[in-house]
Every structure is written in structure tokens, then in C-alpha cells.
Amino acid sequence: MSVHGAMQEKRLSLKNEALLKRAGYAMAGLRTAWRSEKAFRQQMLSSIAILALTAAVGPGAVWWALIVMALCGAAATELMNAGLESLCDRVHPEFHPMIGAAKDLASAAVFTMNTGLTVVLLLMLGSRFL
């Protein structure tokens, strides 16, 4: 193998290693959220219920894609909200209006994503039954 080829192979293996490491951090984040965040556990349980409802309704692939994207978006926003809350509580545990505003903004992001999810769900049900 040429030097160039060997270098490329090494770069690829380092990249894969980094990918595995990042996946490991992500799994650790999911475990932390499941253990310490009631809202995340509720989100996961309601996601399972929504997936079961979608399977029962049996919509087309596009509806499935919309539902799965909305569920992932809602879960991801909940995770970001939990991360921001724990950062705020660690860095600035005392009361401060800007900490309050930061937490309120993160809560608003969760609310917005959940509203989008509800709309997609209602439209999917409406398209099937109305």
C-alpha cells in the first residue's frame, strides 16, 4: 500500500473511532436523561403510544416520516432543555432574571415542538377518519 493510501486508511479509522466515541457520549446522555428527567421519560412513553396509534391507523410512508420526525424533534428539544437547565443550575444556582429567561426560552422551544407534533398527529388522524 502507498504512503498516501496508508494515511487515508489511518484517517478513516480515526474518523470511525471519533464517530463511535460521539455515539458513546450520546448514549450516556440518553441514559442520564432517562434516569434523571421525568419529562423525558414521559416523552418517551407518549412517543411509544403515538407510534402504536400510527401503526393502528396505518397511514402512508409520508405520514410515518412526518410523525417520526416530529417525535424525534420533540425528544431532541426536551434533551436540549434538560441540558440547558442542568447547566444553568450548575453555573448559576441563585435566582437571576436572565437565568429565568433562558429557562423560559428553552421551555418555549419544547412547547413549540410539542404543538407541532400535536398538529401533525391530528392532521394524520383527520386524513384517515374525516
Ligand X SMILES: Nc1ncnc2c1ncn2[C@@H]1O[C@H](COP(=O)(O)OP(=O)(O)OP(=O)(O)O)[C@@H](O)[C@H]1O
Residue of this chain nearest to ligand X (CB atom) = 100
Cell triple for residue 127? 386524513
**Rounded-to-integer distance, Cα 124 and Cα 130, Å:** 10
Q: Does 34 bind ligand X (CB under 6 A)?
A: no
17 is an active site residue: no
In 3-state terms the chain splits into helix, strand, coil percentages (rounded to 5) of 90, 0, 10
Cβ–Cβ < 8 Å for 83, 126 = no
Q: Give whole-number Cα distances, 99 to 88, 94, 114, 117, in Å.
A: 7, 9, 23, 27
Asked if residue 95 binds ligand X (CB under 6 A), the reply is: yes
Minimum distance, C-beta of residue 109 to ligand X, in the bound complex (Å): 12
Residue 32 interacts with ligand X (CB under 6 A)? no
Cβ nearer to ligand X, comparing 24 with 100: 100
Among 51, 99, 109, 125, binds ligand X (CB under 6 A): 99
Between residues 14 and 87, which has the closer beta carbon with respect to ligand X? 87
Piece of the chain touching ligand X by CB under 6 A; list 12-20, 23-31, 97-105, 120-128: 97-105
What is the C-alpha to C-alpha distance for residues 98 and 96, in angstroms, rounded to an integer?
Answer: 5
Instruction: Determine contact, residues 39/78, Cβ cutoff 8 Å.
Output: yes
Name which position in 22, 48, 100, 128 contacts ligand X (CB under 6 A).
100
Given a contact cutoff of 8 angstroms between Cβ atoms, the answer to whether 33 and 40 are in contact is yes
Q: Is 41 in the site for ligand X (CB under 6 A)?
A: no
Binding interface with ligand X (CB under 6 A): 39, 85, 95-96, 99-100, 103-104, 107
Residues classed as catalytic: 78
